[in-house]
């Protein structure tokens, strides 16, 4: 690559102009690139949501879930197919490997479901998942001026429409609103006297709204169509609707009755969800962005719009979630850590060179490389997120390495040979001397990231943009070091103080190195003792998938008995709110009652459920507080409403890859009772384990059910089961008539009996019309009591249960192993199959993938070294420097209390490329010395003394650039964690020291009988 330096030195002005243009374009791109928290990643999963109003769990399973599963199991290549059936609906997940063609798969799934013959009342929708598909802004809105109705009107007719018109906004959803509808409560006795059923009323109302073609009339050669139309346009029309009696009457007496005579008709505000913030009733507003929109920009537009209403005193806003602010915080944190790293680099370079010009020149590669990286990422369609920014941040030290080596060599040549050569000649020859070393070391660092393309799963998908950022920045830094740095070195190093004497540091280092070369066995032994000692710390350090960080928030889920209504759920929620507000460190709390719970795809609300989101101060010890809540709150809740289920867990972190710190036990059996027993046994076992928290069992408790079967009387009377179903159904479930525009308002109409069925006796007294007259249900059918599950879970069509828990500490592998041993000792029901998943499975799969990537990276680096030095002897000596990496990497993790994780392994992968840089710089000089005829020992000593300064400068620059990240408590993701930085710092620290001492020993041992042809190095 020396030709690039020669061309650059001949065209210095052009190179400077080119760099200025590139910088300008990079600055422009920085203002255009989109900002997100995470890469815009679409999970390879299809979500099928089924809604089947009025159906029991077993009906949903048999009539909807099983047929859908059967149609999907015929598709090829999927990883897993899971489903959960519950009352009124089902959720089905079809998971594929990353890299699958999800457009084609989505089309195939829709086509397969379209062929099914499902119940007419069942609605099935197919959706896809994206990591950035959550609402970007959620806020609680209230007002001290307007009442709830006026506030809702303002939100629906003013605020929400304005937000929907903003650029980048996809949809706006309001929560806690009332829905106005027509309620028709029919008196059961009066209706029975006239022989009128709810279905008859439904048909009569619907018959008022019609449009029928009657034909056409030709007038003046023009065909005029004729239609018979009718519509329901007022509430009065429904009230005066005349119904025909189903019972024969006296011909002289009218056989019709008005609807208002047998029913109460009223317009009511029906509320499906109640939301409160800090105990005050409020509305919630959730904003979704377009897929291609910039999250930060859209969130700022939304906040600017809402702020105008706040300033006018019309509304009061309390932010629940603001992804725009989170992104800005993540970006600013990483930028701040990068700037501190840059500052440390500048200080290190100045301390070693003690020359302001040399320091400024060497640091120029940073802004150029960073802005070129941003520009290219923008062109490639990537966003500015914690992965791309993290890649730039961890590369800062490595970016300046090449420039440091070049400028240090030019500066040294200027000191030693400044009187013999002119500026451009000196800069060219000084650059040429080290260009092979920096090029091969940079290429080695770049090829390390190639195997990441083959890392499977979510880690590979997340780290791909990270690797692009690292590779682009490092390649750019190489080009800057061989093009711009020589030009500036030739221009600004006109004079340098002549210096030939060795420094005190070089003299002390020479004495140490000569001692090591004389005591080879001791040097090698110490190195290997440190290596094996560090490997022995792995059991102490522990193993986890990704480091998990505590968030100062908690989530409390309540589920009252299924018969509970919205009002009862709200009353119990007020008791919980009173408890929560007195907890230490509470910042705010928000409750959603009767909403969709944790399932964002759920279409129907659950009136017996409530979800609390509680935020605490940053200094709150969340684990201790959660233990306190788990001890106190269940007693309070069940005292108020017995049989209420309560779930208490730590608040979720920002969307991203799973931390993998969980233990999942999957159970399979065709016998529901045995499956439930086994799940309960394992749940109790895991609750007794002090290393686990948030134990859950997806096989929920059963609820009582009544089973009807026709008895002999009913069979003899030839009574149709469909007749019984129709009559009983309308007694138990409201009938939806439809939605109509009445008096200028669009209103839904619902029919129900005023007298509800609340006991087995009332059920048995339902009148059934038969050929032998009216019969009671209890006379023609037997009613038996049984139980039914609240939910039924399938995996690949088989019944299964999952018991899950989170690991309190950081050693997921150890805790999972202990749980496995404990479960193996249980006497589970026969026929129950047990499989373990969760964090341990993710660790095994993830570490296997990254292990292959590290092995491949080592082979690629060895290939590059072999091409650089020729043969395999010297490349093998260089690769031996990798043996010293675990000493500092594992030692650093042990000292700081970090576990071995995927982010740590990514740090190890980076070290494969970084560590060999020092060895290349050192042995490149040794090889050149030997070609001039130097004896091996003297060649090593001379090269080590000359290369000591650039090696220490590059290592210190890389290490100190990562120090802010290593000690940062505001790291936005477990992926770019302090563990990664500590791994690189520790590994580079020990490998640098051992490279300077032990590597020369290894080289001397391997080169005793090796002769090198003498060759003049310098022209």
Question: How do residues 114-137 score in pLDDT, each as one tens digit?
Answer: 888 888 888 888 888 766 567 888
Query: Rounded mean pLDDT of 829-838?
Result: 86
What confidence tier does 498 reach under pLDDT thresholds 50, 70, 90? low
Residue 373 has a pLDDT of 92
Residue 1016 has a pLDDT of 45
Q: Are strands 745-753 and 735-742 parallel, antiparallel or unpaired?
A: antiparallel
Asked whether the predicted pLDDT for residue 418 surpasses 70, the reply is no
Cα 796 to chain centroid distance, Å, stands at: 25
What confidence tier does 476 reach under pLDDT thresholds 50, 70, 90? very high
More confident: 237 or 493: 237
Asked whether the predicted pLDDT for residue 653 surpasses 50, the reply is yes
Asked whether the predicted pLDDT for residue 647 surpasses 60, the reply is yes
Cα 655 to chain centroid distance, Å, stands at: 3
Asked whether the predicted pLDDT for residue 21 surpasses 90, the reply is yes
Query: Rounded mean pLDDT of 946-951?
Result: 86
Residue 443 has a pLDDT of 87
What does the DSSP 8-state code read for residue 420?
Answer: T
Q: What phi, psi does 554 have (nearest 5°)? A: -140, 150
Residue 700 has a pLDDT of 67
Residue 318: which of 271, 273, 276, 289 has the closest Cα?
A: 276
Residue 302 has a pLDDT of 92
Asked whether the predicted pLDDT for residue 597 surpasses 50, the reply is no
CATH class of 501-541+871-1018: mainly alpha
More confident: 982 or 452: 982
Tens digit of pLDDT for each residue in 866-913?
Answer: 888 877 888 888 888 888 889 999 998 898 888 888 888 888 888 888
- Please indicate whether the domains covering 45-128 and 552-651 agree at the CATH topology level: yes
In whole angstroms, what is the distance from residue 606 CA to residue 596 CA?
6
Q: Which two tokens stand for residue 421?
A: 């050569």
Residue 130 has a pLDDT of 65
More confident: 145 or 408: 408
Residue 604 has a pLDDT of 46
Helix (H) or strand (E) holding 504: helix 504-518
Asked whether the predicted pLDDT for residue 656 surpasses 60, the reply is no
Residue 304 has a pLDDT of 92
Asked whether the predicted pLDDT for residue 832 surpasses 80, the reply is yes
Tell me the whole-structure pTM to 2 decimals.
Answer: 0.74
Residue 455 has a pLDDT of 72
Domain boundaries, the chain: 1-32+355-486, 45-128, 142-180+283-325, 181-212+226-271, 501-541+871-1018, 552-651
Tens digit of pLDDT for each residue in 279-324?
Answer: 888 888 999 888 778 888 899 999 999 998 888 888 888 888 888 8
What confidence tier does 354 reach under pLDDT thresholds 50, 70, 90? confident
Residue 189: which of 982, 678, 765 has the closest Cα?
A: 765
Task: Residue 799: count other Cβ atoms within 10 Å of its Cβ.
Answer: 18
Q: Give the range among 327-331, 498-502, 629-633 with minimum mean pLDDT.
A: 498-502
Tens digit of pLDDT for each residue in 598-624?
Answer: 444 444 457 888 999 898 888 888 888
Q: CB of 837 within 8 A of CB of 664?
A: yes
Residue 441 has a pLDDT of 82
Residue 375 has a pLDDT of 93
Tens digit of pLDDT for each residue in 156-180?
Answer: 888 989 999 999 888 888 888 877 7
Task: Residue 257: count other Cβ atoms within 10 Å of its Cβ.
Answer: 18
Angle, CA 394 vertex, CA 390 and CA 398 arms, to 5°: 145
In whole angstroms, what is the distance from residue 2 CA to residue 7 CA?
9
Asked whether the predicted pLDDT for residue 500 surpasses 70, the reply is no
Indicate the Cα dihedral angle 892, 898, 903, 908, nearest 10°.
20
Which CATH number, 3.30.450.20, 2.60.40.10, 3.40.640.10, 3.30.70.100, labels domain 552-651? 3.30.70.100
Tens digit of pLDDT for each residue in 750-787?
Answer: 888 888 777 788 888 888 877 777 788 888 888 888 77
In whole angstroms, what is the distance from residue 878 CA to residue 869 CA?
10
In whole angstroms, what is the distance from residue 205 CA to residue 232 CA?
8
1-32+355-486, what's its fold? Multidrug efflux transporter AcrB transmembrane fold (1.20.1640)
Give the end-to-end CA distance of the chain in Å, rounded to a whole number.
17
181-212+226-271, what's its fold? 3.30.2090
Looking at every residue in the chain, the average pLDDT score rounds to: 83
CATH class of 45-128: alpha beta
Angle, CA 299 vertex, CA 298 and CA 305 arms, to 5°: 90
**3-state SS, one letter per residue, for 453-486:** HHCCHHHHHHHHHHHHHHHHHHHHHHHHHHHHHH
Alpha helices per DSSP H over 100-197: 102-114, 148-154, 160-164, 188-193
In whole angstroms, what is the distance from residue 607 CA to residue 570 CA?
9
């Amino acid at each position: 690559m020396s030709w690039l330096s020669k061309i650059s030195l001949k065209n210095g002005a052009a190179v400077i102009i080119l760099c200025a243009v590139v910088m300008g374009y990079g600055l422009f791109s920085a203002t255009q690139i989109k900002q997100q928290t995470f890469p815009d990643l679409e999970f390879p999963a299809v979500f099928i949501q089924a809604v089947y109003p009025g159906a029991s769990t077993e009906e949903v399973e048999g009539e909807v879930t099983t047929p859908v599963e059967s149609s999907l199991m015929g598709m090829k290549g999927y990883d897993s197919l899971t489903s959960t059936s519950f009352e009124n609906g089902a959720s089905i997940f079809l998971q594929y490997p990353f890299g699958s063609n999800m457009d084609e798969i989505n089309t195939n799934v829709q086509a397969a479901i379209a062929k099914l013959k499902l119940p007419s009342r069942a609605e099935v929708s197919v959706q896809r998942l994206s990591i950035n598909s959550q609402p970007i802004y959620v806020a609680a809105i209230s007002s001290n001026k307007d009442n709830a109705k006026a506030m809702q009107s303002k939100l629906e007719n003013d605020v929400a429409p304005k937000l929907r018109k903003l650029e980048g906004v996809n949809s706006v959803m309001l929560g806690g609103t009332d829905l106005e509808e027509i309620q028709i409560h029919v008196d059961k006795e009066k209706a029975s006297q006239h022989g009128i059923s709810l279905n008859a009323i439904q048909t009569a109302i619907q018959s008022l709204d019609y449009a029928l073609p009657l034909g056409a009339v030709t007038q003046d050669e023009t065909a005029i169509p004729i239609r018979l139309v009718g519509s329901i346009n007022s509430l009065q029309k429904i009230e005066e609707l005349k119904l025909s009696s189903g019972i024969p009457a006296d011909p002289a007496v009218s056989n019709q009755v008005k609807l208002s005579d047998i029913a109460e008709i009223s317009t009511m505000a029906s509320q499906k969800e109640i939301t409160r913030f800090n105990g005050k009733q409020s509305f919630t507003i959730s904003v979704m962005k377009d897929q291609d929109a910039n999250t930060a920009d859209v969130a700022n537009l939304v906040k600017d719009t809402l702020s105008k209403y706040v300033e006018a005193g019309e509304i009061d806003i309390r932010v629940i979630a603001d992804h725009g602010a989170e992104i800005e915080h993540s970006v600013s944190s990483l930028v701040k850590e990068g700037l501190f790293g840059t500052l440390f680099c500048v200080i290190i370079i100045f301390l070693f060179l003690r020359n302001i010009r040399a320091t400024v020149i060497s640091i120029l590669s940073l802004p150029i490389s960073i802005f070129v990286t941003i520009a290219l990422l923008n062109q490639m369609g990537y966003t500015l997120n914690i992965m791309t920014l993290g890649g730039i941040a961890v590369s800062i030290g490595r970016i300046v390495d090449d420039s440091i080596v070049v400028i240090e060599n030019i500066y040294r040549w200027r000191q030693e040979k400044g009187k013999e050569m002119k500026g451009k000649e000196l800069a060219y020859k000084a650059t040429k001397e080290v260009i092979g070393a920096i090029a091969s070391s940079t290429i080695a660092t770049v090829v390390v990231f190639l195997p990441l393309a083959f890392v499977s799963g979510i880690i590979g998908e997340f780290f791909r943009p990270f690797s692009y950022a690292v590779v682009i920045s490092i390649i750019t830094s190489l080009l800057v070091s061989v093009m711009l740095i020589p030009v500036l070195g030739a221009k600004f190093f006109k004079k340098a103080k002549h210096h030939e004497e060795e420094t005190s540091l070089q003299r002390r280092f020479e004495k140490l190195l000569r001692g090591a070369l004389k005591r080879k066995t001791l040097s090698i032994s110490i190195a290997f003792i440190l290596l094996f000692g560090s490997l022995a710390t792995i059991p102490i350090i522990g193993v986890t998938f990704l480091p998990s960080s505590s968030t100062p928030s908690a989530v409390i889920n309540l589920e009252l008995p299924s018969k509970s209504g919205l009002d009862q759920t709200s009353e119990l929620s007020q008791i919980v709110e009173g408890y929560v507000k007195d907890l230490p460190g509470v910042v705010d709390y928000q409750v959603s009652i009767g909403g969709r719970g944790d399932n964002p795809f759920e279409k129907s609300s659950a009136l017996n459920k409530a979800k609390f989101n509680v935020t605490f101060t940053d200094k709150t010890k969340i684990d201790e507080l959660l233990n306190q809540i788990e001890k106190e709150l269940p007693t309070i809740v069940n005292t108020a409403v017995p049989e209420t289920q309560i779930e208490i867990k730590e608040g979720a972190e920002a969307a991203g890859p799973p931390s993998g710190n969980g233990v999942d036990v999957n159970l399979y059996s065709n016998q529901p009772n045995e499956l439930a027993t086994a799940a309960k046994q394992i749940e109790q076992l895991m609750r007794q384990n002090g290393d686990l928290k948030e134990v859950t069992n997806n096989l929920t408790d059963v609820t009582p059910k009544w089973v009807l079967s026709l008895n002999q009387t009913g069979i003899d009377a030839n009574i149709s089961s469909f007749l019984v179903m129709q009559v009983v159904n309308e007694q138990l479930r409201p009938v939806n008539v439809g939605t109509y525009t009445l008096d200028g308002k669009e209103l839904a109409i619902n029919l129900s009996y005023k007298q509800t069925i609340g006991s087995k006796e009332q059920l048995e007294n339902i009148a059934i019309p038969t050929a032998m007259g009216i019969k009671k249900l209890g006379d023609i059918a037997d009613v038996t009591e049984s139980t039914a599950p609240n939910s039924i879970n399938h995996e690949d069509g088989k019944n299964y249960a999952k018991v899950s828990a989170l690991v309190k500490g950081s050693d997921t592998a150890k805790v999972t192993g202990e749980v496995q041993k404990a479960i193996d000792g249980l006497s589970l029901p026969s026929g129950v199959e047990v499989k373990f998943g969760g964090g341990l499975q993710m660790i095994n799969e993830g570490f296997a993938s990254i292990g292959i990537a590290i092995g491949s990276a080592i082979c690629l680096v060895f290939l590059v070294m072999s091409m650089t030095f020729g043969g395999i002897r010297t490349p093998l000596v260089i690769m031996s420097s990798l043996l010293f990496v675990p000493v500092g990497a594992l030692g650093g993790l042990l000292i700081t209390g970090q576990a071995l994780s995927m982010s740590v392994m990514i740090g190890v992968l980076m070290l494969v490329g970084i560590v060999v840089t020092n060895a290349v710089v050192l042995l490149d000089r040794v090889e050149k010395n030997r070609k001039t005829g130097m004896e091996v020992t003297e060649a090593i000593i001379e090269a080590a003394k000359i290369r000591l300064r650039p090696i220490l400068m590059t290592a210190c620059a890389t290490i100190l650039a990562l120090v802010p990240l290593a000690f940062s408590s505001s790291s936005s993701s477990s992926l770019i964690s302090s563990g990664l930085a500590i791994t690189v710092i520790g590994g580079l620290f020990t490998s640098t020291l051992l490279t300077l001492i032990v590597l020369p020993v290894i080289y001397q041992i391997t080169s005793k009988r090796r002769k090198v042809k003498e060759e003049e190095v310098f022209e």
